Amino acid sequence: MAHVAGEVTEIEADEAGAIAALRLRDGGRVEGDFFIDCSGAAAILIGAHCGIAWIDRSDVSFNDRALAVQVAVEPDSPIASQTVGTAHAAGWLWDIALPSRRGIGCVYASSFMSDDEANRVLADYLRERIPGAGEDALAVRQLRFATGHRERFWQGNCLAIGQSAGFIEPLEASAIVLIELSLRALVENFPASQATMDLHAKRFNRLFRYRWERIVEFLKLHYVLSRRDEPYWRAHRDPATIPPRLAEQMALWREQPPSVWDFPEVDEVFPAASHQYVLYGMDYPLPRPQAAPSQAALAALAAVQERARALCAALPANRTYLSAMAQAA
């Protein structure tokens, strides 16, 4: 196996249109039978060369920019166990605790909020949540992203993985899991001959189109359920922006909670339980049991709660645990 580093400047195709080789800026040439496009938003193989259409989903998912900042923390400060997401007038903020810093950012929709306003939202958050962070002196990085995915991901002898395949805003951190699922699908179904390549492509494209569409819908669910009243949130609740399948499911979920009947594929990225967390958390009128829980059920729940409390009490703090891991490494 050879690792060749270089910038791809040209793509050679054979008579049938399959990719035959990549030409590099330094004059190098890399031949191959199969190519993975992992060139991110540039999508040099699947987009620029194969011409596979980009399906824009900004009609459903409006966020297209983010401001990111890193804030140093005291060496002995506690490390939160969870990422904190906080909604704002036209998007949301993330706050991720790490041993040496907090990664904080503001995701927003440029059609509803200017860059200056987003900077103010981020600065206000920092001032309020981390007094003394010196928000004016921090280096804020802006990221811009297109929201959507390819019509197909596997074309001929080219497979797009990562941002070349698509990108939907980072609310549920769905990008890296799709990269892993794509690689697993490829490894476990690696074409043994050119003859079956199109069959594998067809199967992969069907499954991953399904996965991208479910991710778009799951993200949208978070916004549709909000009762906030700013124009951005009202636009999210506009039925014209809600995918029809999600609208149908939301009607069903008034009568029966999300179940495997709604999400029947293997390795659903967001199974029924994920949807239930969001729906219950946002007080969606899911059907509630009519009868009071039995004594046996109440006793079982109390036992689970007591066990959880005892386990939590015995756990070390995150910083203690991570420091011990670092020392052991």
Ligand X SMILES: Cc1cc2nc3c(=O)[nH]c(=O)nc-3n(C[C@H](O)[C@H](O)[C@H](O)COP(=O)(O)OP(=O)(O)OC[C@H]3O[C@@H](n4cnc5c(N)ncnc54)[C@H](O)[C@@H]3O)c2cc1C
4 touches ligand X (CB under 6 A): no
Q: In this complex, which beta carbon is closest to ligand X, that of residue 149 or of residue 250?
A: 149
Residue with the closest Cβ to ligand X?
162
Distance in Å, CB of 259 to ligand X, minimum:
26
Q: In this complex, which beta carbon is closest to ligand X, that of residue 178 or of residue 250?
A: 178
Q: In this complex, which beta carbon is closest to ligand X, that of residue 61 or of residue 163?
A: 163
Rg (CA), the chain: 24
Q: Mask of contacts with ligand X, 122-161, x by CB under 6 A?
A: ---------------------x-x----------------
Can you say whether the dihedral through the CA atoms of 67, 68, 74, 78 is positive or negative? positive
Q: How many Cβ atoms from other residues are within 10 Å of residue 266's Cβ?
A: 5
CB neighbour list of residue 46: distance below 8 Å, 6 or more residues apart? 37, 52, 150, 153, 155, 158, 159, 160, 164, 165
Do 22 and 34 meet the contact criterion of CB atoms below 8 Å apart? no
Q: How many Cβ atoms from other residues are within 10 Å of residue 69's Cβ?
A: 20
Among 19, 36, 39, 61, binds ligand X (CB under 6 A): 39
Q: In this complex, which beta carbon is closest to ligand X, that of residue 142 or of residue 194?
A: 142
Q: In this complex, which beta carbon is closest to ligand X, that of residue 178 or of residue 224?
A: 178
Query: Which residue, 216, 173, 174, 178, is CA-closest to 83?
Result: 173
Among 18, 38, 207, 286, binds ligand X (CB under 6 A): 38
| Footprint (CB under 6 A) of ligand X, residues 158-177 | 162-164, 167, 170, 173, 175-176
- The secondary structure of 159-191, three-state, reads EECHHHCEECCHHHCCHHHHHHHHHHHHHHCCC
CA 23 – CA 162 distance, rounded (Å) = 22
Among 47, 105, 156, 243, binds ligand X (CB under 6 A): 105
In the chain, what is the greatest distance between 2 CA atoms, to the nearest angstrom?
76
Distance in Å, CB of 279 to ligand X, minimum:
23
| Footprint (CB under 6 A) of ligand X, residues 188-207 | none
Among 40, 78, 231, 264, binds ligand X (CB under 6 A): 40
| Footprint (CB under 6 A) of ligand X, residues 42-101 | 42, 44, 66, 68
CA 308 – CA 148 distance, rounded (Å) = 40
Distance in Å, CB of 163 to ligand X, minimum:
4
**Residues interacting with ligand X, by CB under 6 A?**
7-8, 38-40, 42, 44, 66, 68, 105, 143, 145, 162-164, 167, 170, 173, 175-176
